[in-house]
């Protein structure tokens, strides 16, 4: 891992930490383990007066992205409440919530606008699933010109091997990797905590 710096205006972007996704079987970390790390990161970002963005995905058969896939599409909609963010990350009035209908958090949303309004030049990404929502968002963030940091223990995947492939082979091309502990320590070492 090669975490070197966090820009003065860095935002934390938490991807798809919602009931229906956090409850899914994941590897190498469980959904609740990822949520615990995400809460630690969010608390640290808020303590330093930095933006926290909560991204949720929602879709119905009518709003799903078009196009044929080999896996097809579910015939019925998702269960009620699957797209509601978990309580552990909600309830902070200064946080930004972005709703997406595709894998990545930039396409078809106001995420870029919300970040630029706040002068953000770097994003720290975490969430589920590493190779889907997190990687898609990391690729778009990189393409939008943001510095990208990946909180590798605050993300997990639905498929064995997918997390490791993203972390080892894709993310080093998009940004820097670090653990929750390393990111929180770098925040503390480089900027004073905000008075509450």
Structurally, at CATH architecture level, domain 10-59+81-190 sits in 3-Layer(aba) Sandwich (3.40)
Q: Give the span between the Cα atoms of 135 and 121, in whole angstroms.
A: 18
Q: And the tokens for 64?
A: 């799903």
Tens digit of pLDDT for each residue in 51-92? 999 999 987 555 566 666 666 655 555 666 778 999 999 999
């889907």: which residue's tokens? 132
**pLDDT at residue 67 in the model:** 67
Cβ pair 123, 115 in contact under 8 A: yes
How large is the average pLDDT for residues 109-136? Answer: 98
**pLDDT at residue 81 in the model:** 76
List the domain boundaries for the chain.
10-59+81-190
Cβ pair 39, 152 in contact under 8 A: no
Q: Give the span between the Cα atoms of 163 and 63, in whole angstroms.
A: 28
DSSP 5-74: ---SSEEEEEE--BHHHHTS--BSS-HHHHHHHHHHHHHHHHHTT--EEEEEE---TTTSPPS--TT---
**Cα angle 67, 69, 74; round to 5:** 95
DSSP 152: E
With residue 172 as reference, give the H or E element that holds it: helix 171-174
Tens digit of pLDDT for each residue in 16-43? 999 999 999 999 999 999 999 999 999 9
pLDDT of residue 135 exceeding 60: yes
Could you tell me which residues come within 8 angstroms of residue 113 by beta carbon, excluding any fewer than 6 positions away? none
């Amino acid at each position: 891992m090669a975490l070197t710096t966090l820009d003065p205006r860095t935002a934390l972007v938490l991807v798809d930490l919602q009931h229906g996704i956090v409850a899914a079987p994941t590897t190498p970390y469980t959904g609740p383990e990822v949520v615990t790390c995400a809460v630690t990161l969010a608390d640290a970002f808020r303590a330093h007066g930095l933006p926290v963005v909560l991204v949720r995905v929602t879709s119905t058969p009518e709003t799903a992205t078009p196009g044929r896939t080999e896996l097809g599409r579910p015939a019925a909609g998702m269960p009620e409440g699957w797209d509601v963010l978990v309580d552990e990350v909600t309830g902070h009035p200064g946080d930004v919530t972005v709703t997406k209908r595709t894998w990545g958090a930039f396409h078809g949303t106001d995420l870029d606008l919300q970040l630029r309004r706040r002068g953000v030049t770097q994003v720290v990404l975490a969430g589920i699933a590493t190779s889907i929502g997190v990687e898609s968002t990391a690729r778009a963030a990189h393409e939008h010109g943001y510095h990208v940091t990946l909180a590798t223990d605050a993300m997990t995947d639905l498929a064995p091997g997918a997390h490791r492939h993203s972390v080892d082979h894709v993310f080093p091309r998009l940004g820097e990797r670090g653990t929750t502990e390393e990111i929180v320590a770098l925040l503390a070492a480089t900027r004073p905590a905000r008075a509450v």
